[in-house]
Amino acid sequence: MQVSTRLFYDRASAAMGALSAQADTLQTQIATGKKLAVASDDSVAYARLRGVAQASADAKASGTNLDLAASVLAQADSTLTAMTAQLQQASELAIQARSGTQDKVSLGALADGIDAIRDQLADLGNAVDPRGLPLFGGGDGGAAVTANADGSYSYAATSPSAIPVGGGQSVQPSDTAHRVFTSAAGDALAMLTRLSAALRAGTDVDAAAASAVGDLATATTQVSTVQASLGARAAHVELAQAALTRANTDREATRSGLEDTDVTAAITQLQKTMTVLSATQASFTKLQGLSLFDYLK
């Protein structure tokens, strides 16, 4: 009889303890919104969560770099558009110079306009990107366009720093000033300097302006070619951003399935557990109060 009584108490205590522990766990899951607190809760799921967390961290870095690449490419595109507008304006001034009706004062004004366009183009070439690096300069951070003492210009010929975007890939977000400003017609800024000098001299203006119109058309085509190349890279970056967004969505769904509490299901399970626990406690209390005389009645 002593053994039976002890077993009765032990079993009842173990059952109520297990139910209480289960209720505590469910309450914690509901309060925190997390199913897993420690690795022992589910070692397989915990290991998968660590992998998901690492992948998320890598994706965040890739996303930041893709956003940077997109920003630099957009800036390069708008800068090249501005350059094209300046070259077209220079071509219009060259055409005006060929009219044959310009006097020396007018030609001087046109030359001033050409000089202003040349200087504006040089300034555009020396723009800096969001990283503080020359937009069309080399990876060493040196100036993209340098005016030399003799009036000529030097251009950065090494590519700007590439931006890593994950998976061992990188994106070249711009191009060199050398490729932007030089073409089959030669150096665009030097060409403008020659045109300005010819207009100020007032000799053989028609020939100089005619040559400049053709050369400026070639220079404009070169800028457009560079812009098209950057546009293709921008499209690649957009595709990579879209793919990353989809991967992030799928990964978040996986993480949520492994880690997040289904609150509705947890509350339902908690209510069931509390009902069973209450019934077990009530039964234990009732049986505990019975005596031998109760059995003999």
Same domain, 149 and 202: yes
Q: Quick check: is 46 in a domain?
A: no
Look up the CATH number of the domain holding residue 127: 1.20.1330.10
Last residue of a domain, one of 220, 235, 254: 254
CA distances from 71 to 65, 125, 129, 167, 169 (A): 10, 17, 8, 20, 18
Determine contact, residues 163/65, Cβ cutoff 8 Å: yes
Q: Quick check: is 107 in a domain?
A: yes
Same domain, 192 and 110: yes
Domains in the chain, number: 2
Per DSSP, 289 falls in state T
Same domain, 17 and 150: no
Same domain, 84 and 213: yes
Name every residue whose Cβ is closer than 8 Å to that of residue 76 and which is 6 or more positions away in sequence. 129, 135, 136, 173, 174, 175, 230
Same domain, 220 and 145: yes
Q: Quick check: is 189 in a domain?
A: yes
Same domain, 127 and 232: yes
Q: Quick check: is 125 in a domain?
A: yes
pLDDT of 289 reads 57
Same domain, 272 and 198: no
Q: Quick check: is 83 in a domain?
A: yes
> Which spans in the chain are helix H?
2-32, 43-97, 104-125, 177-181, 188-201, 205-259, 263-288, 292-296
pLDDT of 292 reads 45
222-258 confidence digits (pLDDT tens) = 999 999 999 999 999 999 999 988 988 888 787 767 7
Burial (CB count <10 Å: 0-12, 13-18, 19+), residue 171: buried
Its pTM surpasses 0.85: no
pLDDT < 50 positions in the chain: 1-3, 292-293, 295-296
Same domain, 93 and 206: yes
Query: Per-residue b/e over 131-164, b at no fewer than 16 CB within 10 Å?
Result: eebbbbbbeeeebbbeeeeeeebebbeebbbebe
Same domain, 232 and 90: yes
Residue 105: count of CB within 10 angstroms of its CB: 8
Residue 169: count of CB within 10 angstroms of its CB: 12
Same domain, 140 and 210: yes
116-159 confidence digits (pLDDT tens) = 999 999 999 999 998 888 999 876 777 899 998 887 899 998 88
Whole-number Å distance between alpha carbons of 104 and 201: 9
pLDDT of 159 reads 83
Same domain, 102 and 141: yes
Q: Quick check: is 64 in a domain?
A: no
Q: Which domain holds residue 80?
A: 69-254
Whole-number Å distance between alpha carbons of 70 and 64: 10
Whole-number Å distance between alpha carbons of 108 and 96: 12
Q: Quick check: is 56 in a domain?
A: no
Same domain, 90 and 110: yes
